[in-house]
Amino acid sequence: MSILASSFHEGPLLDKYNNLLISHERYRAMFDNIPLAYMSMNENAAIIDFNNAFSELTGYSCEEVYMKPFSFFLYDKKDIEYHVNVTFPRFKRNGFARNQPWKLKHKSGREIYVIVHGNVRYDTDGRFIQTHCLIVDVTEQRLAREECQRAESKAQLILDVISERVTFHDREHHVLWANKNARSNAAPEC
């Protein structure tokens, strides 16, 4: 056995190695179990690291995610082109991405609306190493907002056909909305 090998199996070097291993295992357990999706891409936008939340969000197994291009998970062809030609090159160049909305596709085919925040890690010479991205699922909020907009549109249609004047005002009494009857009977401004 060489002197280096025997010194590694006992003493301070082995303790440092074991402490590093324990630290890495704790980090990985925390990383894999946080409820916020994480993924990292290489210089070609292929996914090289991710956590369980990303797999759960997209419905794909770990084996199906690893080394897939991020564009594989995008829902629309125009989003794929935009990612490949605009956002990823800009992300690599600027070193960060904030509040980037994307529509992803779940393995089942359903749409997932997300917001991505990321940073790029560079080496000491400024060369790209990888990205680190957090992904926030905003699907429920988006669906709720769309439902509110549909309900509001229906209410406006109903209010527009009644014969009474209907207006909505803010706290300073500025008109926010008026039905057709109120708009047609509005006094001309002087």
Complete domains list, the chain, with CATH = 35-137 (3.30.450.20), 143-184 (no CATH)
Q: Model confidence over 38-61: pLDDT tens digits?
A: 999 999 999 999 999 999 999 999
pLDDT of residue 1: 44
pLDDT surpasses 80 at 66: yes
| Region 133-161 average pLDDT | 87
The number of CA neighbours under 13 Å toward the Cβ of 183 is 9
Cα separation of 116 and 118, whole Å?
7
- pLDDT of the residue at 100: 97
Give the confidence band of 185 by pLDDT, cuts at 50, 70, 90. low
Quick one: pLDDT at residue 120? 98
pLDDT tens-digit map of 114-141: 999 999 999 999 999 999 999 999 999 9
Whole-number pLDDT of residue 91: 97
The whole-angstrom separation of Cα 149 and Cα 18 is 57
Residue 38 near residue 134, CB atoms below 8 Å: yes
Own/partner pairs, 129-132, CB within 8 angstroms, 24+ separation = 130/40, 130/41, 130/42, 130/43, 130/48, 130/49, 131/40, 131/41, 131/91, 131/92, 132/38, 132/40
Does the model's pTM come out above 0.85? no
